[in-house]
């Protein structure tokens, strides 16, 4: 079967370019520049509600247990239909061109087989790719950097954030790009807070959403507020995401030695006032979608050689709670974008949402291990073999159901 990369190579040859082999790292153009394989990982800290990102609108129980936050089906002014069973949150319309050109795929009912509902333990598991993360000596992206073919340049690995995350901790030296906008934060200076109150004080739809958000924040305990902020682990809020992805794309375009890049974004712990088509979650997803679209567009031709993996530590409960939000869950949806991705498809062994199909009778079950998704990218996109993958993810559960998801 002819892939998009085959087509790209044919076009380059027709245009007078020559391709030089670089082994597992991919190909290099004799002119004008190298086109080595790259990987971007984006972690949504706080456990995003994947069921309101890619929604199984044909599941009756989804609507039975979500009286205020369910997204209406496509024929009722709500979801954007994907495949007749799943629909995309309309706030994510900016990424639909990537779905339509088949460079965006979703992997639903994915996540960790670990039973933890702790943000911090689950994030450690995700970042080390080890279920017993306390035994880990490095983050999996640092381990990958140690074996990835390519020039050992100072900017080969980049991490956006004020401190080095666990995913990049280890022997390999990683450069950090500081960020400054925190997630889940109401302005601490009362003068700034008052300015926001005055700005949104009018009786408008926008001011209504603002008042709902402030009311929701006031209705929860200080302990829960602290937990929701802490779950971001210092990651910037989504308001800065478009700026950061635009910056990241520009850096990658200018510097061909950048091979691995990590970003995180906080603010997804929606215990209270989550909202439906409009509201807290959809507002944040709109900015996330804009940022991912900006990243893909900003990469230009380099998008063809880049795999972008988006994950969160776990999902949320299938049923909404008494505060119009959702609590810590289990299975979730992962995203995979890039020129070699076999997209336009929801990759899933869907377990169903009837009560007897749920994990612990409350959550979406995990049928695809997140470690298998990482392995599929390492193998299909970066050319790593099984031995190399296990040197980074010792107990990696390879999944034949992901064969061909990226080339």
Distance of CA 304 to the CA centre of its chain: 19
pLDDT of residue 118: 95
Among 213, 230, 247, identify where a domain stops.
Answer: 230
Q: How far apart are CA 56 and CA 54, in angstroms?
A: 7
If asked whether residues 217 and 244 sit together in one domain, one would say no
If asked whether residues 19 and 112 sit together in one domain, one would say no
Partnered with residue 107 across adjacent β-strands are 334, 347
For residue 407, tell me if it sits in a domain: no
If asked whether residues 202 and 240 sit together in one domain, one would say no
For residue 2, tell me if it sits in a domain: yes
Strands 54-56 and 86-88, sheet pairing: antiparallel
If asked whether residues 70 and 44 sit together in one domain, one would say yes
Query: Domain residues for 211?
Result: 185-230
- List, in order, residues 6 or more apart from 21 with CB less than 8 Å away: 27
CB atoms within 10 A of CB 253: 15
| Secondary structure (3-state) at 304 | helix
Distances (CA, A) of 260 to 12, 29, 344, 363, 374: 25, 20, 25, 33, 13
Q: How far apart are CA 31 and CA 18, in angstroms?
A: 8
pLDDT of residue 230: 62
For residue 287, tell me if it sits in a domain: yes
For residue 103, tell me if it sits in a domain: yes
pLDDT of residue 77: 82
If asked whether residues 344 and 240 sit together in one domain, one would say yes
Partnered with residue 80 across adjacent β-strands are 88
If asked whether residues 152 and 275 sit together in one domain, one would say yes
The pLDDT tens digits along the chain (407 residues) read: 434 444 333 333 333 322 222 222 332 222 333 469 999 999 999 999 999 999 999 999 999 999 999 999 998 889 999 999 999 999 999 999 999 999 999 999 999 999 999 999 999 999 999 999 999 999 999 999 999 988 889 999 999 998 999 999 999 999 999 876 444 444 333 444 454 455 445 555 445 544 555 555 555 555 555 555 666 556 889 999 999 999 999 999 999 999 999 999 999 999 999 999 999 999 999 999 999 999 999 999 999 999 999 999 999 999 999 999 999 999 999 999 999 999 999 999 999 999 999 999 999 999 999 999 999 999 999 999 999 999 999 999 999 999 999 99
If asked whether residues 197 and 167 sit together in one domain, one would say no
Total domains present in the chain:
3
- List, in order, residues 6 or more apart from 299 with CB less than 8 Å away: 249, 252, 253, 306
pLDDT of residue 235: 84
The predicted-structure confidence for 261-272, as pLDDT tens digits, reads as follows 999 999 999 999
If asked whether residues 76 and 89 sit together in one domain, one would say yes
pLDDT of residue 192: 40
pLDDT of residue 95: 98
The predicted-structure confidence for 101-110, as pLDDT tens digits, reads as follows 999 999 999 9
pLDDT of residue 162: 86
If asked whether residues 140 and 269 sit together in one domain, one would say yes
If asked whether residues 207 and 277 sit together in one domain, one would say no
Sign of the alpha-carbon torsion through 155, 380, 287, 107: negative
- One DSSP character per residue, 226-263 reads HHHHHTTTTPBPGGGHHHHHHHHHHHHHH-TT--EEEE
For residue 285, tell me if it sits in a domain: yes
For residue 192, tell me if it sits in a domain: yes
Nearest to residue 27, comparing CAs of 206, 247, 256?
A: 256
pTM score of the predicted model: 0.82
If asked whether residues 4 and 66 sit together in one domain, one would say no
If asked whether residues 24 and 169 sit together in one domain, one would say no
pLDDT of residue 6: 42
* CATH code of the domain in which 131 resides: 3.40.720
């Amino acid at each position: 079967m002819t892939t998009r990369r085959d087509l790209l190579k044919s076009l380059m040859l027709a245009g007078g370019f020559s391709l030089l082999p670089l082994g597992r790292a991919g190909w290099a153009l004799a002119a004008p520049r190298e086109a080595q394989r790259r990987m971007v990982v984006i972690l949504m800290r706080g456990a995003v509600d994947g069921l309101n990102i890619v929604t199984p609108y044909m599941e009756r129980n989804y609507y039975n247990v979500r009286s205020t936050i369910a997204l209406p089906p496509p024929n009722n002014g709500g979801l954007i239909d994907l495949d007749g069973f799943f629909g995309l949150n309309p706030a994510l319309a900016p990424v639909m061109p990537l779905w339509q050109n088949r460079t965006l795929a979703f992997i639903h009912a994915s996540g960790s087989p670990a039973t933890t509902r702790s943000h911090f333990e689950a994030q450690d598991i995700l970042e080390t790719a080890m279920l017993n993360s306390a035994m880990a000596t490095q983050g999996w992206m640092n381990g990958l950097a140690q074996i990835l073919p390519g020039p050992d340049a100072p900017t080969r690995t980049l991490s956006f954030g004020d401190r080095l995350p666990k995913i990049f901790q280890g022997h390999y030296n990683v450069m950090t790009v500081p960020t400054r906008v925190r997630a889940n934060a109401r302005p601490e200076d009362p003068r700034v807070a008052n300015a926001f109150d005055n700005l949104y004080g009018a009786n408008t739809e926008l001011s209504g959403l603002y008042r709902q958000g402030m009311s929701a924040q006031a209705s929860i305990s200080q302990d829960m507020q602290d937990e929701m902020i802490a779950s971001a682990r210092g990651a910037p809020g989504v308001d800065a995401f478009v700026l950061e992805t635009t910056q990241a794309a520009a850096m990658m375009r200018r510097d061909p030695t950048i091979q691995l890049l990590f970003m995180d974004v906080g603010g997804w712990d929606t215990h209270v006032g989550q909202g439906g088509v409009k509201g807290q979650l959809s507002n944040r997803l709109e900015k996330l979608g804009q940022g991912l679209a900006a990243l893909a567009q900003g990469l230009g031709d380099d998008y063809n050689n880049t795999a972008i993996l988006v994950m969160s530590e776990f999902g949320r409960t299938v049923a909404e709670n008494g505060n119009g939000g959702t609590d810590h869950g289990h299975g979730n949806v992962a995203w995979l974008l890039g020129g070699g991705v076999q997209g336009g498809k929801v990759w899933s062994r869907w377990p169903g949402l009837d009560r007897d199909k749920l994990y612990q009778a409350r959550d979406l079950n995990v049928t695809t291990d997140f470690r298998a998704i990482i392995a599929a990218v390492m193998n299909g996109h970066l050319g790593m073999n099984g031995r190399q993958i296990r040197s980074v993810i010792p107990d990696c559960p390879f999944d034949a159901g992901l064969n061909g998801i990226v080339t």
